[in-house]
């Protein structure tokens, strides 16, 4: 009774108003699982391909081909198969696609299908998804430390500022609830400051305040002011993290800081980030250099990796082999886990395993284009990843995730709040 009877793909709409793929899997006993593909704006070159139709409709972003792949070859492949184990389903998808970058079926078609099957398998056992993951992956669950964007930037804000995410974490909180309460206060305080300075305060793609700044460093200064405005001492309970997303403004060792109207080399960018680390309570920097700047990443990690988390996103693309390589070369000491970069749940779990093996910090992450989908919250808890990044503290596609984590956290078996112990930032004492 647990075999897959129906695989149905449909077009739904994401947080940017763009089309995306949703897949619903129905088992012979009537039980269903559902999932939708997210979409990145600052995508790495090694990610699974996000298959779009091109042409003139919806700016070439339509996903009719990907949906046809779900309803055609993918459905034919999966119907009649048992709903688990997940690895067997994902292997079948990978074989059917037959490419290294999932350009045939589309990473969007594959990730929505893979996650829909996973959700159906959990539902079939009448278990919450995070419990199903604990049972099948054997990790110790925990409630993740949120990494929350206060100011958006880069590709998420019309490149009005170079750095993509100015974020906070509250590792000094006792619980997820307390961390979110403090985050809400700081988020609102930052909005009040922006409104006072500019008369208005809009938001960027992930719900962080629109970056009206003259320099990247000014954003850091205002972030510190917002933290202080709620009575917190920056670097005490509350710390700062950045996603530089440097691949978006640099390649071949040259980086264009458009906002500051200058081009800097690898060395200069490292020095600039180093000066911020000295001046601000920064515990984590993601993609400080571009994905093609391996030497720069190694140098940066050598200089600062013993103090802060150096996170590979574009660099690692949620790929186990790339994570193992980076551990070997010392290119970073932590990884983002984005299931749609890999294309299937099993490959994302493999990347997570490689990160654990390397002693890396792990951050499960959403994309800038999202839906009300909450699978990644269960993944973060069920794998005990330690940290979760889903954008800012507004817009329902973001809040759906924080709220789901609050619900999961009420369950006594969901583990304790990972808090400060999830951070591989040695200077932060907690």
Pick one of 24, 205, 232, 313: the residue that binds Zn ion (CB under 5 A).
313
Is 206 catalytic? The answer is: yes
Q: Does 313 bind ligand PGA (CB under 6 A)?
A: yes
Nearest to 283 by CA among 381, 387, 187, 203: 387
Q: Does 97 bind Zn ion (CB under 5 A)?
A: no
Nearest to 312 by CA among 362, 380, 350, 265: 362
Tell me whether residue 251 is exposed, middle or buried, using C-beta atoms within 10 angstroms of its C-beta: 0 to 12, 13 to 18, 19 or more. Answer: middle
User: Binds 398, which of Zn ion, ligand PGA, none (CB < 5 to 8 A, cut-off by type)?
Assistant: none
Report residue 130 as tokens.
């995070």
- Smallest distance from Zn ion to CB 89, Å: 28
Strands 250-251 and 254-257: antiparallel
Q: Within 227-246, which residues bind Zn ion (CB under 5 A)?
A: 243, 245
Task: For Zn ion, give the closer residue by CB, 238 or 363.
Answer: 363
Pick one of 9, 33, 40, 415: the residue that binds ligand PGA (CB under 6 A).
40
Window contacting ligand PGA (CB under 6 A); options: 36-44, 115-123, 178-186, 262-270: 36-44
What is the rounded CA–CA span in Å between residue 278 and residue 308? 11
Report residue 212 as tokens.
């009206």
Q: Within 234-253, which residues bind ligand PGA (CB under 6 A)?
A: 243, 245
Quickly count: other Cβ atoms within 10 Å of residue 196's Cβ. Answer: 9
User: Binds 124, which of ligand PGA, Zn ion, none (CB < 5 to 8 A, cut-off by type)?
Assistant: none
**What contacts 24+ positions apart, CB below 8 Å, involve 86-92?**
86/114, 86/117, 86/118, 86/121, 86/136, 86/345, 86/346, 87/346, 89/114, 89/117, 90/114, 90/344, 90/345, 90/346, 90/347, 91/346
Which residue is nearest to Zn ion, using beta carbons? 313
- Smallest distance from ligand PGA to CB 233, Å: 28
User: Binds 41, which of Zn ion, ligand PGA, none (CB < 5 to 8 A, cut-off by type)?
Assistant: ligand PGA
User: Binds 52, which of ligand PGA, Zn ion, none (CB < 5 to 8 A, cut-off by type)?
Assistant: none
User: Binds 43, which of ligand PGA, Zn ion, none (CB < 5 to 8 A, cut-off by type)?
Assistant: ligand PGA
Pick one of 20, 23, 43, 331: the residue that binds ligand PGA (CB under 6 A).
43
Task: For Zn ion, give the closer residue by CB, 245 or 414.
Answer: 245
Is 338 catalytic? The answer is: yes
Q: Does 248 bind Zn ion (CB under 5 A)?
A: no
Nearest to 51 by CA among 101, 114, 124, 118: 101
Task: For Zn ion, give the closer residue by CB, 50 or 243.
Answer: 243
Q: Within 274-293, which residues bind Zn ion (CB under 5 A)?
A: 286
Task: For ligand PGA, give the closer residue by CB, 237 or 338.
Answer: 338
Please identify which of the residues 102, 298, 338, 389 carries the catalytic annotation: 338
- Smallest distance from ligand PGA to CB 27, Å: 31
Pick one of 28, 41, 201, 324: the residue that binds ligand PGA (CB under 6 A).
41
What does the per-residue mask of binding to ligand PGA show for 147-166, with x meaning CB under 6 A?
A: --------x--------x--
Q: Are 20 and 108 in contact (CB under 8 A)?
A: yes
- Smallest distance from ligand PGA to CB 355, Å: 16
Task: For Zn ion, give the closer residue by CB, 206 or 313.
Answer: 313
Task: For ligand PGA, give the closer residue by CB, 315 or 423.
Answer: 315
- Smallest distance from ligand PGA to CB 367, Å: 3
Please identify which of the residues 185, 206, 286, 404 carries the catalytic annotation: 206
Which residue is nearest to ligand PGA, using beta carbons? 40
What is the rounded CA–CA span in Å between residue 47 and residue 315? 10
Q: Within 331-370, which residues bind ligand PGA (CB under 6 A)?
A: 365, 367-368
Half-sphere exposure of 89 (CA within 13 A, CB side): 31
- Smallest distance from ligand PGA to CB 197, Å: 26
Which residues here bind ligand PGA, judged by CB under 6 A? Answer: 40-43, 155, 164, 243, 245, 313, 365, 367-368
Q: Which residues are catalytic?
A: 206, 338
Where do contacts with Zn ion occur on this chain (CB under 5 A)?
243, 245, 286, 313
């Amino acid at each position: 009774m647990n075999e897959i009877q129906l695989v149905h793909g449909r077009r739904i709409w994401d947080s940017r108003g763009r089309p995306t793929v949703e897949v619903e899997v129905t088992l012979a006993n009537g039980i269903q699982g559902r999932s939708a593909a997210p979409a990145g704006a600052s995508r790495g070159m090694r990610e699974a391909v996000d298959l779009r139709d091109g042409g003139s409709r919806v700016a070439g972003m339509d996903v009719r081909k990907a949906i046809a792949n779900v309803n055609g070859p993918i459905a034919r492949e999966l119907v009649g198969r048992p709903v688990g184990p997940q690895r067997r389903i994902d292997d079948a998808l990978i074989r059917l696609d037959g490419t290294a970058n999932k350009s045939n079926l589309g990473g969007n078609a594959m990730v929505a299908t893979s996650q829909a099957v996973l959700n159906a398998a959990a539902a079939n056992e009448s278990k919450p998804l995070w419990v199903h993951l604990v049972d099948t992956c054997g990790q110790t669950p925990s409630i993740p430390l949120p990494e929350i964007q206060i100011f958006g930037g880069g590709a998420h804000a019309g490149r009005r500022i170079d750095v993509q995410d100015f974020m906070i974490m509250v590792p000094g909180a006792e619980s997820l609830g307390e961390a979110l309460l403090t985050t809400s206060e700081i988020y609102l305080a930052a909005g009040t400051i922006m409104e006072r300075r500019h008369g208005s305060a809009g938001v960027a793609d992930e719900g962080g305040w629109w970056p009206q700044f003259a320099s990247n460093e000014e954003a850091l200064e205002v972030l510190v002011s917002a933290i202080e405005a709620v009575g917190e001492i920056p670097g005490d309970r509350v710390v700062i993290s950045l996603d530089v997303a440097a691949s978006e403004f640099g390649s071949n060792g040259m980086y264009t800081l458009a906002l500051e109207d200058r081009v800097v080399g690898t060395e200069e960018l490292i020095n600039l980030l180093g000066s911020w680390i000295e001046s601000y309570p920064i515990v984590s920097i993601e993609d400080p250099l571009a994905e093609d700047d391996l030497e720069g990443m190694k140098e940066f990690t050598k200089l600062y990796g013993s103090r802060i988390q150096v996170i590979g996103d574009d660099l690692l693309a949620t790929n186990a082999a790339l994570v193992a390589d980076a551990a070997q070369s010392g290119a970073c000491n932590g990884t983002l886990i984005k299931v749609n970069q890999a294309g299937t749940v099993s490959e994302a779990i493999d990347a997570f395993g490689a990160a654990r093996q390397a002693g890396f910090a792990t951050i499960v992450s959403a994309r800038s284009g999202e839906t009300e989908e909450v699978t990644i919250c269960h993944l973060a808890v069920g794998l005990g990843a330690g940290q979760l990044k889903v954008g800012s503290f507004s817009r329902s596609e973001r809040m759906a995730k924080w709220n789901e984590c609050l619900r999961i956290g009420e369950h006594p078996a969901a583990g304790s709040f990972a808090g400060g112990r999830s951070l591989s930032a040695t200077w932060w004492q907690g």
